[in-house]
Amino acid sequence: MGARTLGLNRGTWLLALPVLFVLIFFYFPLAAIFSGSLSFGTIFQVLSDPYYRHIIRFTFLQAGLSTVFALLLGLPGAYILSHFRFPGKNIVKGIATVPFVLPSILVVLGFVLFFGNSGILNRGLMALTGRDEPVLRVLYSLWAIILAHGFYNFPISMRIVAAAWEKISRTEIDAASTLGAGRGRVFRTVILPQLLPGMAASSALVFLFCFMSFAVILVLGGGPEFSTLEVEVYRLARFSLDLEKAGVLAFLGSVCSLLVLYGYSRLQHALPSGRVIESHMQMKSLRQGLRGKQGFLLSLYVIIICLLILSPLAAVAVRSFQFRPGWAGSASFSLKWYRELFQTGSGYGRTVTRALVNTLLFGSVTACISVVLGSITAFLLRREKRPGNRLVETFMILPMGVSPVILGLGYLKVLGSLPAGIRGSWIVIVFAHSIVAVPFVIRSVSAVIRESHELCAEAAGTLGASPLRVFTSIHLPLLKPGILAGAAFAFALSAGEMNATIILSSEQTITIPIAMYRLISSYNYYGACALGVLLMLLCLLAFITIEKLGNGAE
């Protein structure tokens, strides 16, 4: 009993390390925003202004419509994944996850190049119809935002709903059919009620991401008419230097997103947790499904998904190998932009080299910090039962519900009185990235912890193994898939993070996403594409690592 108590005390002190980190680098900056901005006069001034009321309404509108579109886009994929077995099924799952792994600025660039007024899709339609003007005018509109959000987030709906669909008992469906229920009634009375928790949970998560979206709105919105809370906080803090109004909007956005996160957490606990046993009775061959009207609809869905996922990314890759001498010239194959990536003699080359080095440095350090803190949290909370574990886990997960833009604003307020060298230091950006990544690492590591692990550890301890040897020989190998997957995900998040970085970065701490945004803003799409391909390769490496090493972390 004494040894067990000693272990609990030691674990409590160790758990204080990640808790203190999140307290200092998340809750303290957040408190700094609200303590200096939440005066009644400022709140009334913001809420009584028609412009800010429009921004609040539009933030909810675009998030709601984007969520519905992502859910509708993901449901057919969920049906395919849960009802059919076919070669390459895991590859299909992986491809569908690509948009979620890729940085948002890269997704935005692909959409501009593919769906833009002079993009690949419009040029093809103009050639088919013989028209001299764009057939589809999508960019800089609400539809562009919804389309980009749907593409970016539909894998969430697809995978969560598919997981819920796979866990529906075939016996219940057969029993209802035996009692005379038709396919429609079976779906309404047996299948749909069991799918609703998964649909609701995925919708809450997608809504949260769309509500906190930044790069998509900043580039595809095109102006104040389609501005959201996140973008307006950035404009007020970075350009208007009105930190009071930015703080009020940040408070309103944080309250709404945290409520959605709380709802998602409750819905997640309502999801079925049984193990999926795939059998020939449950899963049909894909060839059996590709017949008649159903086959046509499934094929059409696959085409649409390929169009949404692969075409924008292919457009980025193709454009990176082109060069156009002036607006009137025709594009030709060229390696110009790749050659200039590492030509440190030019201003473009120096910026790119600095951005690449910073991205690799920030991503690596972020992965180290977040893996250590997230793994400690997940391991101790799952291994040692304490009355306050649920509260500590919530405390550590809450950063998921606050936008990095708002976190960056908090850092500005806290660091505003410090010397510029400290305010613009790279370690500040790394801490912001780590705050964003830690909750994902906690989830990744927690998913691989099983009750059987503790039984093995207790058996080893009974045989005389020291606590250190038990951890290195029992726990660490079992946790390895979750740790590696968390590290890869943390690196990918840091490499593509733009929201907090755009507020905190300077010329010395520029990253690849920020450099891409500057190139897009100056209409240098060719250079942005070459840089985007480089970023794509970095994220692809992290993505492959997640898929190969994180199979046990789902």
Maximum mean pLDDT: which of 58-67, 279-288, 351-360: 58-67
pLDDT at 443: 84
Maximum mean pLDDT: which of 123-137, 169-183, 284-298, 365-379: 365-379
Predicted TM-score (pTM) of the model is 0.80
Are the C-beta atoms of 402 and 518 separated by less than 8 Å? Answer: no
Distance CA 461, CA 458 (A): 5
Are the C-beta atoms of 101 and 546 separated by less than 8 Å? Answer: yes
Distance CA 554, CA 129 (A): 47
Distance CA 370, CA 366 (A): 6
35-49, 431-445, 518-532, range with the lowest pLDDT = 35-49
Q: What is the pLDDT of residues 123-144, one digit of tens each?
A: 888 888 888 777 778 778 888 8
Q: How confident is the model over 183-199, as a mean pLDDT?
A: 81
Distance CA 543, CA 72 (A): 25
Q: What are phi and psi of 280, to 5 degrees?
A: -70, -25
Residue with the bigger pLDDT between 382 and 257: it is: 257
Model confidence at 163, pLDDT cuts 50, 70, 90, reads confident
Whole-angstrom Cα Rg for the chain:
25
**HSE value, Cβ hemisphere, 13 Å, CA-based, for 486:** 32
Q: Is the pLDDT of residue 282 over 60?
A: no
Distance CA 185, CA 420 (A): 66
Domains of the chain by range and CATH?
A: 1-31+339-554 (1.10.3720.10), 49-318 (1.10.3720.10)
pLDDT at 458: 59
Are the C-beta atoms of 196 and 271 separated by less than 8 Å? Answer: no
pLDDT at 539: 74
34-48, 71-85, 490-504, range with the lowest pLDDT = 34-48
| Helices (H) then strands (E): counts for the chain | 28, 4
Residues in a beta bridge with 333: 322
Find, among 398, 373, 410, 370, the residue nearest to 492 by Cα.
Answer: 370
User: Which residue's entry shows tokens 């609703």?
Assistant: 196
Q: What is the pLDDT of residues 528-548, one digit of tens each?
A: 888 888 888 887 777 676 556
Q: What is the mean pLDDT of the chain?
A: 78
Specify burial of residue 354 (Cβ count, 10 A radius: 0-12, 13-18, 19+): middle
Q: What is the pLDDT of residues 444-477, one digit of tens each?
A: 888 777 544 555 655 555 655 556 566 666 666 7
DSSP letters spanning 21-67: HHIIIIIHHHHHHHHHH--HHHHHHHHT-HHHHHHHHHHHHHHHHHH
Model confidence at 435, pLDDT cuts 50, 70, 90, reads very high
Specify burial of residue 230 (Cβ count, 10 A radius: 0-12, 13-18, 19+): buried
Distance CA 490, CA 507 (A): 24
